[in-house]
Amino acid sequence: MKRIMIGTSWKMNKPLSAALHYCETLAEQLPAVLHPAIQPFFIPPFTAIQPVTEFLQRHQLPCLTGAQNMHYAEEGAWTGEISASMIAETGATLVELGHSERRHAFNETDGAINKKVHAALRHGLRPLVCVGDSAEEKQWGVSPETVIRQMKIALHGLTAQQVTQTLVAYEPVWAIGEQGIPATPQEAAGIHLALRGALCQCFGDEIGQKIPLLYGGSVNIDNAVELLSQPNIDGLFIGRAAWDAAGYCALIKRVVEDFIAKQQ
Ligand code: PGA
């Protein structure tokens, strides 16, 4: 059985004090509910990455950490930006790239995301590439080609070895945030099947099948199990429902009891 990735980006939330408070609750509650088939991950804002990573290591919590963005350049005159080597130095091993909030609010292009993916891998970071269709693209019936295009450009030029280090998250723009309507498990499964097909076509079946495909967009405790039950959904990328550590642990408990336990 593939290890299921279940994690969260805190977006621009949680100053250091709140981040560490979250970690304390995790240390109290996560060990009792976690199962080895699940790989938890946490993506704090830059200022909290290192302390959160160190806290999780100190408490021997088997969790990965990551950054929410980075620049593709190695270094230089890029005021306000953070490089891959700076992230690697914090102890984090993941970097989220191409979230729709970055594409839309900060004009991130597919080409820039591709450069970031290459830079991340050069520094031993695993890119978590987000792709997503807008409400209009969904209405026009072009969701599969939209996300396949985004993914192919993001992964362009990677070697087979590099691509196995990469994670992809399907995050429909219409499903994210307060106004979002979660994709039905069937809708998500349809897009994940299309993404899987494109991965196998580009990198061959063996590698294409290995790349974890996560779903994100209004994931919550009530839809997590049904989403994970779909073929080609290998993990969940959660926002609001996991910003409270107790909520995250409750979701993990539900997945272990209602999904993992039933598969064994
Ligand atoms: P949400 O965010 O779970 O709050 O909809 C998801 C995301 O942006 O990854």
Q: What percent of the chain has pLDDT over 70?
A: 99
Q: Is the pLDDT of residue 1 over 60?
A: no
Which residues, including other chains, have CB under 8 Å from residue 93's CB and lie 6 or more apart? 64, 65, 66, 124, 125, 126
Residues in the chain: 264
**DSSP helix, strand, coil percent of the chain (3-state; round to 5):** 50, 15, 35
Sequence-distant contacts of 31-35: CB under 8 A, at least 24 apart: 31/61, 33/249, 33/250, 33/252, 33/253, 33/256, 34/62, 34/252, 34/256, 35/252, 35/256, 35/260
Q: Is the pLDDT of residue 264 over 80?
A: no
pLDDT tens, position by position, 86-98: 999 999 999 999 9
User: Which of 218, 222, 243 best tests ligand 1's pocket when mutated (most atoms within 8 Å of CB)?
Assistant: 218
pLDDT of residue 250: 98
Q: Residue 227's pLDDT band (boundaries 50, 70, 90)?
A: very high
Q: How large is the average pLDDT for residues 63-77? A: 98
DSSP string across 188-241 = HHHHHHHHHHHHHHHH-HHHHHHS-EEEESS--TTTHHHHHTSTT--EEEESGG
Residue closest to 45 by CA, chosen among 17, 70, 9: 9
**Three-class SS of residue 179?**
coil
State if residue 237 touches ligand 1 by the CB under 6 angstroms criterion. yes
Distances 160 to 157, 164, 203, 205, 213 between C-alpha atoms, Å: 10, 6, 7, 11, 17
Name the strand (E) or helix (H) holding 9.
strand 4-9
Q: How large is the average pLDDT for residues 170-194? A: 96
Q: How large is the average pLDDT for residues 35-60? A: 98
Q: Is the pLDDT of residue 233 over 80?
A: yes
pLDDT tens, position by position, 204-216: 999 999 999 999 9
- Give the global pTM: 0.97
Q: How large is the average pLDDT for residues 114-125? A: 98
Q: What are phi and psi of 128, to 5 degrees?
A: -110, 95
Q: How large is the average pLDDT for residues 77-92? A: 98
Beta bridge partners of 216: 237
Q: Is the pLDDT of residue 242 over 90?
A: yes
- Residue with CA at minimum distance from ligand 1 atom 2: 239
Q: In angstroms, how far is CA 75 from the centroid of its own chain?
A: 25
The whole-chain average pLDDT of the chain stands at 97
Q: How large is the average pLDDT for residues 179-201? A: 97
Q: Is the pLDDT of residue 145 over 80?
A: yes
Q: How large is the average pLDDT for residues 226-252? A: 98
Distance, CA 251 to ligand 1 centroid (Å)?
15
State if residue 177 touches ligand 1 by the CB under 6 angstroms criterion. yes
Q: What percent of the chain has pLDDT over 90?
A: 98
Most distant CA atoms of the chain, gap in Å: 53
Q: Residue 2's pLDDT band (boundaries 50, 70, 90)?
A: low
Please give the domain boundaries of the chain with CATH numbers for all domains: 4-263 (3.20.20.70)
Beta bridge partners of 64: 41
State if residue 44 touches ligand 1 by the CB under 6 angstroms criterion. no
Q: How large is the average pLDDT for residues 165-174? A: 98
